[in-house]
Amino acid sequence: MLGLGLAAFILVIVVLLALAELVAKRGSKALTAAVFLAPVGLLLGAGLVVPAARTLGLSMFDGSGENFVWFANFQWIFTDSGAQIILLNTLLWVVLTPLIATGIGLLYAVLIDGKRGEAIYKSLVFMPMAISFVGAAVIWRFIYDHRGGTDQIGLLNQVVVWLGGEPQAWLQMWPWNTLLLIVVLIWVQTGFATVVLSAALKGIPAEIQEAARIDGATPWQEFWRVTIPSIRPAIIVVVVTISIASLKLFDIVRTMTGGQFRTGVVADSMWFQAFRLGEAGRGAALAVVLFIMVIPIVAYQVHNLKRRQEETR
């Protein structure tokens, strides 16, 4: 099977090169480029455009996929109280996770920058990135675990008991359960933010920092007027990357609460509606909403990249 695949790949390359050579002899650069871009266009069409169009069409049918219901599934998303909680939870994930993870990562990167043992400090904070979301969720589920009585195996409830309080079923208390789940993703993504921003800090020209100090800038002024503007592109990349990861989040919610106790998010509810409840139309509608939510983030990133390219010219 592998040999057949390799043979097909080589055949496609040979045909493409032959076509490109034939077109190039006619002196048309546009047609030559089209020959090489055609396979990419076909793959994008088969792997992206067709599934997206099918999902959009499916979102306008009922659960059986036989009855056309127009925009009833989207109306359900924005009018049903349970679906509104899902949208609110998703908004909390997308707003809080990138801001807090990036803020902590930046603070940590500044504090360890140039210090002895910097590599070890970076390794420690980056370690959670090596753990899968499911693994991280299992670890934190033990931390939030709730048992009756004073003997707790959950660290959080044991601290509460030591302080004289009553242990709580944290993962069943909305909105605290959603906020506690967000902590898990912040814990995972802070290492990524630290490593990227630490590299950006080391790229700041020393002359700029020395000039600011000679002009009498305090460390606080140097941080806000020299450091932050200098690493702004890296900060944007980190925020955008973590924002998209937050929108796609599925594993942590599914592992820790199964989407119960009002902790559902769009990605998790999309799967639950389509494959558990058999509501393919609602699942597809949630997928369309998720796609629309990603568009502004991607558009901003593309705009930022274009501006950086214009600035470097």
pLDDT digit string, tens, across residues 10-62: 888 888 888 888 888 777 778 888 888 888 899 888 888 999 999 999 999 99
Q: At what angle do helices 176-202 and 232-247 cross, to 10 degrees?
A: 150
The residue to which tokens 């707003």 are assigned: 95
Non-local CB neighbours of 157 within 8 Å, separated by 6+ positions: 144, 145, 146, 147, 167, 168, 170
Residue 69 CA to residue 59 CA, distance in Å, equals: 9
What is the average per-residue pLDDT within 260-289?
A: 93
- 261 backbone dihedrals φ, ψ, rounded to 5°: 60, 35
pLDDT at 59: 93
Mean of the per-residue pLDDT values for the chain? 90
Q: Please list, in sequence order, all residues whose beta carbon lies within 8 angstroms of the beta carbon of residue 139, skipping any fewer than 6 positions away.
A: 131
193 or 147, which is more confident: 193
Q: How far apart are CA 265 and CA 271, in angstroms?
A: 10
- Tokens 């949208």 sit at which residue? 87
Alpha-carbon distance 94 to 247, whole Å? 6
pLDDT tens profile 59-114: 999 988 889 999 999 999 999 999 999 999 999 999 999 999 999 999 999 999 88
Res 188 pLDDT > 80: yes
Distance CA 158, CA 238 (A): 35
- Mean pLDDT within 220-234: 92
Residue 150 — very low, low, confident or very high, per pLDDT cuts 50/70/90? low
Q: Is the pLDDT of residue 228 over 70?
A: yes
The reported pTM is: 0.86
Dist. CA 16–CA 288, nearest whole Å: 36
pLDDT mean over 277-301? 92
